[in-house]
A and B are shown apart, each in its own frame.
Chain A
Amino acid sequence: MSDWAGSRRGEAHSRRNKTGSCVPSRWSNGRKRTVDGTLRVGRHGDGTDPESSGYSDHRHSDSRHSIFTTPESSGPVSRCRSQTDWATQVEDDEMRMGAHRDMQRRRILGSEFSQRERKTSSGSSESCDSKEGENIETDEAVLLRRQKQINYGKNTLAYDRYIKEVPKHMRQPGVHPKTPNKFRKYSRRSWDQQIKLWKVKLHAWDPPVDEGQDKVLDNIDDLALDDVMDIELDFPTLSESPTTPGLSLQDEDCAGTPSKVQRMENTVDPDLA
């Protein structure tokens, strides 16, 4: 019984590496140095190489994890628990099921759509690009990862405000952010870049800082807080610039913090892509 459980966990673990792990994908580009400048030894040399060159990224993500909670995560997970904790596995299963349904829906709609395309002259340049037939992304792991990245962007106050303010039919291409289409074939770099630009654009709808604080401090005036002690809090220094090169190609799990999360957590500038 334990053997089975062990191999099951192993399976889940390797699945996780394909989808959401922090091992950098730029490894496959064959670059000799990581972004940090550390030299990579050889592609297939030591089994530990990918780990060691990715280690600095792991450290990044770990130190961030202890402070920020990414959406739909179970919060900081203690080391003694397996890497794939139950909460995350349930989330993943849910997304996978959702992705299947998405794909089925897309397949049904896709055939209709491409027929319509051929008949009418295409309007926007984007519909020209996708001939739904050959260019659909079907790799489940990729779809899951992309959907996760999209979720991070949508799970923000900025996105909520955006969709309330600008109905879909009023959207102007170029001006208004548009969610990248996870079903189209793109390279990893291209996709990550699209996500980044999309999220940067969404920041235009970030709530004004004052509004957020007021909500949180709703009843504070009603309470007499004269006796509350001064407590020194140590906030880590965070990279201010949303376009730090080190972040651009990383898996979205490690990068950025959606502003929705930050209501109670900290007072640092929420504008972090």
Chain B
Amino acid sequence: KMWKKVSLMVVALGCGSQNMDRLVELLNSMRSNSSGVEQQLASFMEEAQCSARSEETLAQVVSTIYSKAVSDRSFAATAAKLCDKMALFMVEGTKFRSLLLNLLQRDFCRREDLQQSDVEKWLGFITFLCEVFGTMRSSSGEPFRVLVCPIYTCLRELLESTDVKEDAVLCCSMELQSAGRLLEEQLPEMMTELLAAVRDKMLCPAESQLTRSLLMEVIELHAHRWSPLEALTTQYYNRTIQKLTTTA
């Protein structure tokens, strides 16, 4: 009996990688802004639910989605939506959501190392973390409060980063645009602190124009309670940022 179980596990892991390839294909074909994305999410979910029969294979599915989400920042938002749909999917007593949170927590715990070893992944991780927080809800309709402090910490660290300064500030700005309101609702004192750091940096002449433009936009958004700025203002920033990013 035992022998059969073990051999089945071995086989499952082997077959797992074939199934994963298929899932990865599906993921790759998803384009965030395309109209067919809802349908693609649905097909992916079906496929994943069929192939995830054991905890191990479920973990592989989660891991596959996670890897893609943190390595491709344009995919992060879509990935978060997908994870929200699959959150409560459970195999052998383990939920999709729990595995996902484990991965996020693991990377959060080792974010310093991540920043040193693979800065793109670090940025991708923070992006995905924020998207998860902004998109996913518990079954009682609440956001995942446990993520609030870690996100503030990461945003702070983005502002303080010395290597990829502008990319980091861009990441910070984009995520604040996306999750700022929710973050401030959850923990206004920390938003105040964060904004103070943003202002300091913005007023620092040593910072690049790009950095300071991005930060000024954030300050305006905050003042505007995170709702979109007037069209002309947004245009101004888009133009400015574009100008600054296209110069050699």
Contacts and interface: CB of A to CB of B under 8 A. Distances in A.
Main secondary structure of the interface of A (DSSP, over half): loop
A223 B7 CA distance: 10
Interface in A197-248: 213, 216-217, 220, 223, 225, 228, 230-231, 233
Interface stretch (B26-34, B39-47, B141-149, B225-233): B141-149
Given A5-B149, A81-B105, A94 B7 contact: no
A58 B142 CA distance: 32
Interface in B153-186: 153, 156
A228 B5 CA distance: 11
A155 B139 CA distance: 17
A228 B189 CA distance: 59
B10 A264 contact: no
A255 B97 CA distance: 24
Interface in B1-27: 1-11
B92 A90 contact: no
A75 interface: yes
B143 to A, nearest CB: 10
B92 A220 contact: no
Contact of A85 (B2, B102, B138): B102
A260 B55 CA distance: 12
Interface string A69-110: 111111100001100011101110110011001000000000
B4 A98 contact: no
Contacts of A260: 92-93
Interface in B206-228: none
B94 interface: yes
B187 to A, nearest CB: 8
B139 A94 contact: yes
Given A85-B102, A261-B92, A101 B11 contact: no
B49 interface: no
Given A8-B149, A97-B138, A97-B142, A87 B98 contact: yes
A228 B7 contact: yes
A86 B6 contact: no
Interface footprint category on A:
35 or more
Interface in A143-162: 155
A230 B4 CA distance: 10
A263 interface: yes
B109 A223 contact: no
A86 B147 contact: yes
B4 A217 contact: yes
Nearest to B10: A228
A5 B153 contact: yes
A69 B91 CA distance: 11
Interface in B90-143: 90, 92-95, 97-99, 101-102, 104-106, 109, 138-142
A244 B2 CA distance: 26
B104 A74 contact: no
Interface string A245-269: 0000000000000101101110100
B18 to A, nearest CB: 13
Interface in A113-148: none
B101 A75 contact: no
Given A85-B105, A101-B140, A220 B93 contact: no
Interface of B: 1-11, 54-55, 90, 92-95, 97-99, 101-102, 104-106, 109, 138-142, 144-147, 149, 152-153, 156, 189-190, 193
5 contacts: A85-B105, A86-B105, A90-B146, A220-B8, A233-B6
Given A1-B152, A69-B94, A86-B144, 17 more contacts: A1-B153, A8-B149, A75-B99, A75-B102, A85-B101, A85-B105, A87-B97, A90-B144, A90-B146, A93-B146, A97-B142, A228-B7, A231-B3, A258-B93, A260-B92, A263-B92, A264-B55
Which 7 A-B residue pairs are closest in the complex by CB-CB distance? A97-B140, A87-B98, A71-B93, A74-B98, A89-B146, A87-B101, A86-B101
Interface of A: 1, 4-5, 8, 69-75, 80-81, 85-87, 89-91, 93-94, 97-98, 101, 155, 213, 216-217, 220, 223, 225, 228, 230-231, 233, 258, 260-261, 263-265, 267
